[in-house]
Chain A
Amino acid sequence: MKSAWKLLLTAWLVAVIATAGALFIGEVMLMVPCQLCWYQRICMFPLVFILGMACWSDDRRGAVYALPLALGGAAIAGYHTLLVAGLIPKAWIPCSAGVSCADQKLEILNGIPIPWLSLAAFVAIAVLLTIFLRKTSR
């Protein structure tokens, strides 16, 4: 039981770090989030609260509610990653006005694209939650 809870805690930790990172990039470094980034934020930010509460009160159901958000976020981040990599024609970009999701300078640290980080975080959370749910199911 205790080791399963650590999985939940790790998933929450990933969400906390991803949220703090997104807020730092947006609010402190003043990079304007594009539309796809906003959708990913919509999926990521609530995870901090849902998984935080789940860890706090050791409630298995928190993972059940968090999993769809993680999967949805992973889907958007995956699309975004392909877009930035140039594997999807740009004509499909839903954001015609405002900040471009494909052309923007989306790199941080040593040139790691932000959508990759987002995808990695969502996938990590989804995998951790799946294992957690398997381990705790009766």
Chain B
Amino acid sequence: MTSKKLTVALILGVVLVAFAFGVYNYQRRVQNAQMEKVTQQQARLVRMHSPVFGPQGAPVTIVEFFDPACETCRAFYPMVKDLLAQYPNDVRLVIRYAPFHQGSDQVVKLLEAAKRQNKYAPVLEAVLAAQPQWADHGQPNVGLAFKVAEQAGLDLEKAMADVQKPEVDAVLKQDVEDLTALEVTKTPTFFVNGRGLPTFGREQLTALVAEEVAKAKK
């Protein structure tokens, strides 16, 4: 290899390493800043109105910032359910809403209406199952989500009345206020006993939950 080729290769290598180093540092800084916010404002993680899956008094709490129109949230749902099944006495899931997509706010209100009829889980599952049909990001078909919810056993007339209620709107507003304060910008965002995932992924969530359960059992 001539010295010219060596120079080009060397520069390329240096730039790549510098880039990777920059990515690592930047992401760590962003995450530390968020963790600091979360630690300072623990109250924002779980609210009285937040839907809970699993035992109320569980020592480990997974908080999920969730958007019903988000594909990754849909993909993670069965996996989070598996985690709850795996630790039936130790883990609970708290759902917080992050309506980042167009039309999501309406579907969140639908879920809240379902909660009032004790149909939360079946309606959530039906809405997620039908997500590819109703949640086109350009043109969401919220009416279809309501129809699917009715098929899952929701009293639609009652739900339509509940959706209009200011209390339901207040739930949504509070969740948006909390996610803004905690700098949650993506869904799903998970916090396990207040700790964020080191990097996003299934294994990371499973590992963090396992770690917190082990800690709680000591």
Interface residues of A (CB under 8 A from B): 5, 9, 12-13, 16-17, 20, 23-24, 28-30, 52, 55-56, 58
Contacts and interface: CB of A to CB of B under 8 A. Distances in A.
Interface string B12-38: 100100110011001100000000000
A108 to B, nearest CB: 12
Given A24-B23, A28-B26, A17 B8 contact: no
The 3 closest A-B pairs by CB, nearest first: A55-B8, A56-B8, A20-B19
B48 interface: no
A17 B5 contact: no
**B interface, over-half SS:** helix
Contact of A16 (B4, B7, B11, B23): B11
A29 B25 CA distance: 11
A66 B18 CA distance: 25
Contacts of A29: 26
B8 A20 contact: no
Nearest to A16: B15
Nearest to B24: A28
A16 B12 contact: yes
Contacts of A58: 4
A114 to B, nearest CB: 16
A52 B12 contact: yes
The residue in B4, B15, B22, B185 that gathers the most chain A C-beta atoms within 10 A of its C-beta is B4
Chain B interface size, under 10 / 10 to 19 / 20 to 34 / 35 or more: 10 to 19
Interface of B: 4-5, 7-8, 11-12, 15, 18-19, 22-23, 26-27, 185
A28 B22 contact: yes
Contacts of B23: 24, 28
A28 B28 CA distance: 11
A116 to B, nearest CB: 21
A70 to B, nearest CB: 19
Contacts of B11: 9, 12-13, 16
Nearest to B7: A9
A113 B7 CA distance: 31
B21 to A, nearest CB: 11
B12 A55 contact: no
Contacts of A23: 19
A12 B185 CA distance: 36
Contact of A56 (B5, B18, B27): B5
A5 B6 CA distance: 13
Given A24-B22, A30-B185, 18 more contacts: A9-B11, A12-B8, A12-B11, A16-B11, A16-B15, A17-B15, A20-B15, A20-B19, A24-B19, A24-B26, A28-B26, A52-B8, A55-B4, A55-B7, A55-B8, A56-B4, A56-B5, A58-B4
A62 to B, nearest CB: 12
A24 B23 CA distance: 7
Contacts of B8: 9, 12, 52, 55-56
A26 B135 CA distance: 26
A119 to B, nearest CB: 21
